[in-house]
Amino acid sequence: MPQQYTVLARKWRPQQFDEVVGQEHVTQTLQNAIKKNRLAHAYLFAGPRGIGKTSTARIFAKALNCKKGPTTTPCDKCDNCKEIAEGRSFDVLEFDAASNTQVEKVREIILETVRYSPATSKYKIYLIDEVHMLSDGSFNALLKTLEEPPSHVIFFFATTDPQKVPLTITSRCQRFDLRRIPAAAMLKHLKQIAKAEKVSADENALLAVVRGAEGSLRDAESALDQLIAFCGNEISEDEVLGVFGLVSHGLVTQLADAVIDGDSQAALGVVHELVKAGKELQRLHADLLAHLRNLLILSVSPDGKNLDVSDLEMESLQKQAARLDASAALRIMDTLASGESRLRYAMSKQILLEVILLQAIHARNAVSVDSLLKRLNEVKSKLGGGGGMVAERPSENTPLRETPTRPDAPTPSRSTPHRAAPDLAAAWQELLGHLAESRPMLHQYLIEAQPTSFDGETVTLAFPNEFSMHKELADTPQNVQFLQTRFRQSLGQDVSVRFALEDSVAPKTPPAPLATARRAPDEPQPASAPLAAKPAPLSKDRVQDLRKDPLIQKALEVFRGNIVDARG
């Protein structure tokens, strides 16, 4: 009869503390407890699946009950060690809480036997797996015994969901939180297994297995077992990607390059290629989001100490991070993250993913208000200062500076007892600038509104009568709450906001059409432009000289404007 095959996850299960992968913070503590004879009566091992909770508990049980023990290095040769490793020890009882939730089972298996001394070992150990699955009655029945167990009894609890374990239980245990296995440690372990099993697997293939395992060493070992059965002794990256439907790190990097470079055509091309290959687009989205997260960390911490990636991945990440600042990475990640839940339930994932990628590219190219103000101040410096000064954007904790109002702006009420009128005007202009960037729809509703009064408690935002529909759309509880919060940050006090229609509020001059921003440089400004006085046209040569300045070119591009005057 042929010998029964042992899967890799069981064959390579650790038997000593130093064989446990990636959990040194736990194994070192347990070994020190054994050396110093500071053993507790209950231990709780918590963490996600496949990272060594039960294996660590079994090694600990062997260390305590070994014939040479307690010892930090169980011999694995005595009867006690062998019986524990094979799961047939009378003194180490494993109990699956997922299938034995009833209080009767707890009483039968634990409470009725806990008073008996161990048969051949020093300790009687109860290992309860997935302990959070026990019923409330079972926890209550166990509580008294757990609080004051006999000196020969030790409890080991393992769980993937420690939040569901009652505090009355966890407070009586020493808790150890096991981590997901780092990628580098898992890759090293898989290489060791492949070498021992005489399997040739390139590093990219094993890296794909590591990415698919998501920190679970057992998942990685099971995947490698499946690949050996499918591919034989030669495993390539393409075969790994084909078997598990994963996306190669190279394609994720290529897609990230397209987003960073603003290349919409290249980004859509990668998606089209993956759709033809039958790849899971939701997994692609998750991989891209994780990739951008790594780039964000690199942009603020260039040493990359907090990244769990291989040396090969680190090299490509550093090249990309050099082309992407932190603010752009944040905008891209925010766009990708906002589409995650929609993608999960989308009928056409390809269409939605393409839209999300285009939005991410647009977000990457967006310019923040602070950046615009900085650039415009640089333009002012180039022009020599003077009346064209652009004020810096005030911070939330800095009082707003007084800024000149437009000639056509209404005169704010002088009944305000606590704040000067220019503060309200400045606060309103800052708020409109914020809305243009963060809430463009609300900005469109409020563009015709004007702050007409502030009595120290209430800000009145008035619309012209012909814009009553804008008032109705803006006047919602959510919008009012948002505006009150922004005014509080700007004015430094709690205020309420009310909307009104007032005959005295005149509509603003409609903005010039887009074509106006593209007039010939020597074409005069139209009379309807909202300027205090029409300046004398600049000479053609002077306009051309100014247009050669790159900062002025950028300002004209951002605001779609034209040079009408130069001062200073």
Contacts of 303 (CB under 8 A, 6+ apart): none
Read off the pLDDT band of 540 (50, 70, 90). low
Percent of the chain scoring above 90 in pLDDT: 25
Residue 533 has pLDDT above 50, yes or no: no
Would residue 385 be called left, alpha or beta, if left means φ above 0 and alpha means ψ between -120 and 50 degrees? left
Q: Alpha carbon of 122 to those of 1, 65, 94, 251: distances in Å?
A: 39, 6, 17, 56
Helix, strand and coil percent figures for the chain, each rounded to 5: 55, 10, 40
Q: State residue 508's pLDDT score.
A: 64
Q: Is the pLDDT of residue 518 over 70?
A: no
Out of 9-13, 141-145, 433-437, 526-530, least confident range: 526-530
CA nearest neighbour of 442 among 434, 453, 430: 434
Reported confidence tier of residue 534, pLDDT bands at 50, 70, 90: very low
Q: Tens of pLDDT along 463-485?
A: 888 788 788 888 888 888 888 88
Residue 326 pLDDT level (bands cut at 50, 70, 90): confident
The number of residues in the chain equals 568
Name the one residue in this structure whose structure tokens are 């790849």. Answer: 279
SS3 517: helix
**For the segment 192-227, what is each residue's pLDDT rounded down to a tens digit?**
999 999 999 888 889 889 888 888 999 999 999 999
Adjacent-strand bridge partners of 44: 157, 175
The DSSP 8-state label assigned to residue 445 in this structure reads: H
Higher confidence at residue 177 or residue 110? 177
Label the pairing between strands 124-129 and 92-96. parallel
The helix/strand/coil state of 509 is: coil
The yes-or-no verdict on residue 175 having pLDDT over 50 is: yes
CA 74/CA 76 separation, integer angstroms: 6
Q: Tell me: pLDDT of 409 over 60.
A: no
What's the whole-number mean pLDDT along residues 179-197? 91
Per-residue confidence band for 30, with pLDDT thresholds at 50, 70 and 90: very high
Which residues lie below 8 Å from residue 71, measured CB to CB, with a gap of 6+? Answer: 34, 63
Q: In the predicted model, is pLDDT for residue 460 greater than 70?
A: yes
CA distance 567 to 181: 63
* Lowest-confidence region among 239-243, 303-307, 395-399: 395-399
What are the residues whose beta carbons fall under 8 Å from the beta carbon of 301, sequence distance 6 or more? none
Most confident segment among 40-54, 363-377, 410-424: 40-54
Predicted local confidence at residue 166, as pLDDT: 92
pLDDT band at 531 (very low <50, low <70, confident <90, very high): very low
Closest by CA position to 412, among listed 450, 466, 359, 362: 450
Q: Measured between alpha carbons, how far is residue 500 from residues 448, 461, 476, 493 in Å?
A: 12, 6, 13, 22
pTM of the full structure: 0.60
Paired tokens of 241: 């990607």
- CA atoms lying within 13 Å on the CB side of residue 286: 12
pLDDT over 90 at 565, yes or no:
no
Mean pLDDT of all residues in 422-431:
78
Q: Average pLDDT of 233-262?
A: 86
**Residue 377 reports pLDDT greater than 80:** no
Name residue, tokens 């060791």.
192
Q: Higher pLDDT residue, 155 or 97?
A: 155
Write the single-letter amino acid at 495: V
Give the per-residue pLDDT at 503: 78
Question: Are 44 and 176 a contacting pair, CB within 8 Å?
Answer: yes
* Mean local confidence (pLDDT), 56-63: 94
With cut-offs at 50, 70 and 90, classify the pLDDT of residue 170: very high
- Extract the tokens encoding 492: 């430094």
- Give the pLDDT score at 27: 94
Burial 143-165 (b: 16+ CB within 10 A, else e): eebbeebeebbbbbbbbbebeeb
C-alpha–C-alpha distance, residues 532 and 520, integer Å = 22
Please write the tens of the pLDDT for every residue from 260-308. Answer: 888 889 999 989 988 888 888 888 888 898 888 888 888 777 777 777 7
pLDDT number for residue 542: 67
Cβ atoms < 10 Å from Cβ of 82: 14
Provide the mean pLDDT of the chain: 80
Domains defined for the chain, CATH in brackets: 8-177 (3.40.50.300), 183-244 (1.10.8.60), 249-365 (1.20.272.10), 399-501 (3.30.300.180), 514-559 (no CATH)
61-65, 204-208, 400-404, 467-471: the lowest-pLDDT one: 400-404
Encode pLDDT of 69-118 as tens digits. Answer: 799 999 999 999 999 998 889 999 888 887 777 787 788 778 888 888 89
Q: Which of 86-100, 407-421, 528-542 has the highest mean pLDDT?
A: 86-100
Residue 64, token pair as written in the block: 């305590």
The alpha carbon of 71 is separated from its chain's Cα centroid by a whole number of angstroms, namely 43
Which one has a higher pLDDT value, 379 or 298? 298
* Chain mean position to CA 19: 32
pLDDT at 407 > cutoff 60? no
- Is the model's pLDDT at 535 over the cut of 70? no
d(CA 328, CA 376): 20
**CA 286/CA 271 separation, integer angstroms:** 14
The pLDDT > 70 percentage for the chain reads: 79
pLDDT tier at 505 (50, 70, 90 boundaries)?
A: confident
Residue 396 has pLDDT above 50, yes or no: no
The predicted structure's pLDDT at residue 215:
87
> Hey, which of 212-226, 356-370, 536-550 has the most confident mean pLDDT?
212-226
**For 351-439, where are the E strands, in sequence order?**
none
The confidence score (pLDDT) of residue 165 equals: 92
Show Cβ contacts of residue 378 under 8 Å, excluding neighbours closer than 6 positions: 551
d(CA 382, CA 305): 42
